[in-house]
């Protein structure tokens, strides 16, 4: 519910505050007084775009503030999902547009974007005017109207969208595979040639590093031999006199002798024994290496040629051996896939057929619930049209198969309408006049009001082009909607105004050489005068007042009957 709307510096509005009531809030006033400015302010609070041109002359900013009560789980979820403070079931929305172009939007003190504000407002407020009437002529809106009437529609749509996505993904891959097969012959020849080239070299993992080590060893054979011989000579060469092992052997003997006199040399003796064994092992390895040293230029040439072959493959398919082997595996996988094309296509087609069956099933379920909802909606709307004075009206929602799957299903919706006996029902956009379209839209709103969760509905001059008995019927429909939710209604018709739970009068006056729009909540007596003015014009007579009183009394009786 919208409790309070406060506006600063919007066009003719200097400062204005309205405290709305539950039920039906009627706003009346002379043409040009500024009634549409209030709707404009409300529109800005719903995230509509604006610019600095709407700021009042002399003002540095435009500011709009609304205080609302929350009775909608969707709104609570929105606040939670967007990390917006949610306390005491109250919502304070502020939007300020500065003359420097800066736009400030806050919800319960949290800064948000215009997109977030728009998303929130759609959960709370539904503005219905002549533009919304025209939107009813669009095929996509007619389908959306049916979908909103389907119980648990999200469940059916989610199932369909999931099946639709899977079908699209599978068929896309199938078509890509079929398209790619047109170049298979040429591509297979190239892949086979590349695979043969790699297999001819028979490259092995890490082979390049192993060959590099072997080449390094062979090309440095002389240096290695000299170093090995020198090492052996120092360790154990009998022709070299005093070697490390001979010296260490003498140390061991001395430590053995010392142990006879002092046991503290036991550790030193053990270390010396271990060192002797380890150095002796080193001498054996070095001696054996000397025996194995053999410089063979033939082996070196073979290794160099092998290294060149591997380097050439790495330049083409590398840069490393692992990359070459990975590329070869990829080639073999591709070749295997191409050679088994028929089997793969068969399997993919089978998956596509299965996915299409699931999609077909989901589409049929979606169509069935739409058809049921459309029939029920058509019946209820037709009943409302009869109450609105369209006694011969025919209203139906027809579906047309699109012969293909889309994000919204396999059908489009079309509203068929005729107003007179003997006429053929035709698409709404071809048959309904402006006044008929207004009544159709109102009938739909009346039928759906109790089912949606939007708490505030705004009617912007829905009475355009109607009068007399039809105006009275429209008034009753709006009053019925106000039984389910808060309604704000701008009207020029006394039949509608007299149904008000709260009546506000908007006018403009000149203050300090500036035109200012004002709003006032009318008392019972003031409402009587306003109804008389609306019914008879400027000159209010005793007869016009009596007529206005009768209209108000009749309105009260009708509202009491509605409550029952």
> What is the model's pLDDT at position 171?
93
* High-pLDDT (> 90) share of the chain, %: 21
Q: Is 523 exposed, middle or buried (0-12, 13-18, 19+ CB in 10 A)?
A: exposed
> What is the model's pLDDT at position 241?
67
- Average pLDDT on 395-404 reads 91
> What is the model's pLDDT at position 464?
64
Residue 169: inside a domain, yes or no? no
Residue 170's CB is within 10 A of a number of other CB atoms, namely 18
Phi, psi angles (nearest 5°) of residue 73: -60, -30
Q: Taking all residues of the chain, what is their mean pLDDT, rounded to a whole number?
A: 85
Is residue 185 scored above 80 in pLDDT?
A: no
- CA 28 – CA 504 distance, rounded (Å): 6
- CA 369 – CA 179 distance, rounded (Å): 38
33 confidence band (pLDDT: 50, 70, 90): confident
> What is the model's pLDDT at position 437?
79
> What is the model's pLDDT at position 373?
94
Nearest to 431 by CA among 413, 417, 414: 417
Whether residues 191 and 314 fall in one domain: yes
- Average pLDDT on 250-262 reads 89
409 confidence band (pLDDT: 50, 70, 90): very high
Whether residues 115 and 211 fall in one domain: no
The answer to whether the CB of 400 falls within 8 A of the CB of 373 is no
> What is the model's pLDDT at position 240?
61
Whether residues 107 and 190 fall in one domain: no
- Average pLDDT on 109-120 reads 88
- Average pLDDT on 147-176 reads 92
What's 240's DSSP letter?
Answer: G
- Average pLDDT on 276-303 reads 85
192 confidence band (pLDDT: 50, 70, 90): confident
- CA 99 – CA 83 distance, rounded (Å): 29
Residue 32: inside a domain, yes or no? yes
Number of domains in the chain: 2
Of 169-173, 292-296, 519-523, the one with minimum mean pLDDT is 292-296
Which uninterrupted H or E stretch holds 18? strand 13-19
Phi, psi angles (nearest 5°) of residue 279: -70, -35
The answer to whether the CB of 129 falls within 8 A of the CB of 442 is no
Q: Which domain does 210 fall in, by range?
A: 184-339
The answer to whether the CB of 146 falls within 8 A of the CB of 397 is yes
Specify which of 105-114, 158-167, 442-451 reaches the highest per-range mean pLDDT.
158-167
Specify which of 33-42, 408-417, 434-443 reaches the highest per-range mean pLDDT.
408-417
- Average pLDDT on 435-455 reads 78
If DSSP codes are grouped into helix, strand and coil, which group holds residue 56? coil
The answer to whether the CB of 440 falls within 8 A of the CB of 382 is no
- Average pLDDT on 551-563 reads 84
411 confidence band (pLDDT: 50, 70, 90): very high
Whether residues 91 and 197 fall in one domain: no
> What is the model's pLDDT at position 120?
87
Per-residue tokens: 143: 């389908």
> What is the model's pLDDT at position 238?
66
Residue 167: inside a domain, yes or no? no
Residue 311: inside a domain, yes or no? yes
Residue 175: inside a domain, yes or no? no
Whether residues 188 and 120 fall in one domain: no
- Average pLDDT on 441-463 reads 78
End residue of a domain, out of 339, 366, 384: 339
Whether residues 191 and 321 fall in one domain: yes
> What is the model's pLDDT at position 336?
80
Residue 363: inside a domain, yes or no? no
- Average pLDDT on 378-392 reads 86
* High-pLDDT (> 70) share of the chain, %: 96
Whether residues 200 and 88 fall in one domain: no
Residue owning tokens 């503290």: 264
Residue 157: inside a domain, yes or no? no
The answer to whether the CB of 552 falls within 8 A of the CB of 494 is no
450 confidence band (pLDDT: 50, 70, 90): low
> What is the model's pLDDT at position 345?
84
Is residue 239 scored above 70 in pLDDT?
A: no
Whether residues 232 and 308 fall in one domain: yes
Residue 368: inside a domain, yes or no? no
Whether residues 333 and 202 fall in one domain: yes
Whether residues 209 and 333 fall in one domain: yes
Q: Supply the CATH number for residue 482's domain.
A: 3.40.50.300
Is residue 108 scored above 70 in pLDDT?
A: yes
- Average pLDDT on 530-556 reads 85
Whether residues 120 and 209 fall in one domain: no
End residue of a domain, out of 293, 315, 339: 339
Tell me the per-residue pLDDT of 43-81, one tens digit each, with 9 for 90 and over. 888 888 877 888 888 888 899 999 988 887 888 888 888
> What is the model's pLDDT at position 161?
95
Whether residues 103 and 195 fall in one domain: no
> What is the model's pLDDT at position 456?
86
End residue of a domain, out of 486, 504, 522: 522
- With both helix axes pointing from N to C terminus, report the angle between 341-387 and 153-180 in degrees, rounded to the nearest 10: 150
- Average pLDDT on 543-562 reads 86
What's the start-to-end Cα distance of the chain, in Å?
Answer: 23
């Amino acid at each position: 519910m919208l409790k309070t709307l406060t506006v600063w510096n919007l066009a003719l509005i200097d400062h204005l505050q309205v405290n709305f009531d539950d039920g039906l809030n009627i706003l009346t006033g002379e043409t040009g007084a500024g009634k549409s400015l209030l709707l404009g302010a409300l529109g800005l609070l719903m995230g509509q775009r604006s610019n600095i041109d709407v700021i009042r002359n002399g003002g540095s900013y435009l500011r709009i503030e609304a205080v609302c009560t929350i009775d909608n789980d969707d709104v609570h979820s929105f606040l939670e999902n967007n990390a917006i403070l949610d306390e005491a079931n109250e919502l304070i929305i502020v939007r300020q547009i500065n003359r420097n172009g800066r736009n400030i939007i806050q919800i319960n003190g949290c800064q948000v974007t215009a997109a977030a504000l728009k998303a929130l407002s759609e959960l709370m407020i539904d503005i219905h005017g002549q533009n919304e009437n025209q939107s009813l002529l669009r095929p996509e809106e007619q389908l959306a109207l049916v979908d909103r009437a389907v119980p648990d529609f999200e469940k059916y749509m989610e199932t369909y969208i999931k099946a639709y996505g899977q079908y699209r993904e599978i068929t896309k891959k199938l078509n890509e595979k079929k398209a790619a097969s047109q170049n298979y012959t040429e591509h297979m020849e190239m892949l086979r040639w590349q695979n043969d080239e790699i297999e001819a070299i028979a490259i092995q993992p890490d082979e390049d590093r192993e060959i590099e080590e072997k080449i390094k060893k062979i090309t440095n054979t002389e240096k290695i031999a000299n170093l090995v011989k020198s090492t052996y000579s120092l360790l154990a060469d009998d022709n070299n006199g005093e070697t490390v092992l001979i010296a260490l052997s003498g140390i061991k003997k001395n430590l053995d002798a010392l142990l006879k006199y002092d046991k503290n040399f036991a550790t030193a003796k053990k270390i010396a024994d271990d060192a002797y064994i380890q150095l002796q092992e080193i001498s054996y390895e070095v001696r054996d290496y000397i025996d194995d040293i053999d410089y063979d230029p033939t082996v070196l040439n073979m290794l160099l040629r092998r290294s060149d072959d591997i380097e050439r493959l790495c330049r083409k398919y590398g840069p490393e051996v692992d990359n070459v082997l990975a590329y070869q595996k990829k080639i073999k996988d591709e070749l295997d896939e191409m050679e088994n094309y028929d089997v793969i296509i068969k399997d993919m087609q089978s998956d596509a057929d299965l996915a299409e069956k699931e999609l077909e099933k989901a589409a049929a379920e979606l169509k069935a619930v739409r058809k049921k909802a459309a029939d029920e909606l058509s019946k209820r709307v037709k009943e409302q049209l009869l109450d609105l004075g369209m006694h011969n009206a025919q209203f139906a929602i027809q579906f047309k198969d699109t012969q293909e799957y889309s994000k919204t299903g396999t059908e489009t919706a079309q509203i068929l309408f005729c107003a007179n006996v003997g006429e053929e029902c035709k698409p709404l956009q071809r048959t309904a006049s402006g006044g008929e379209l207004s009544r159709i839209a109102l009938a739909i709103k009346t039928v759906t009001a109790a089912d949606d969760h939007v708490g505030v509905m705004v009617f912007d001059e829905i009475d355009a082009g109607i009068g007399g008995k039809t105006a009275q019927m429209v008034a009753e429909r709006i009053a019925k909607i106000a039984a389910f939710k808060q309604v704000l209604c701008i009207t020029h018709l006394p039949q509608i105004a007299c149904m008000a739970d709260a009546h506000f009068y908007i006018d403009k006056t000149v203050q300090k050489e500036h035109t200012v729009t004002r709003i006032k909540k009318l008392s019972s007596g003031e409402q009587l005068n306003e109804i008389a003015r609306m019914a008879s014009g400027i000159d209010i007579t005793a007869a016009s007042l009596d007529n206005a009183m009768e209209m108000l009394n009749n309105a009260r009786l009708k509202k009491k009957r509605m409550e029952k």
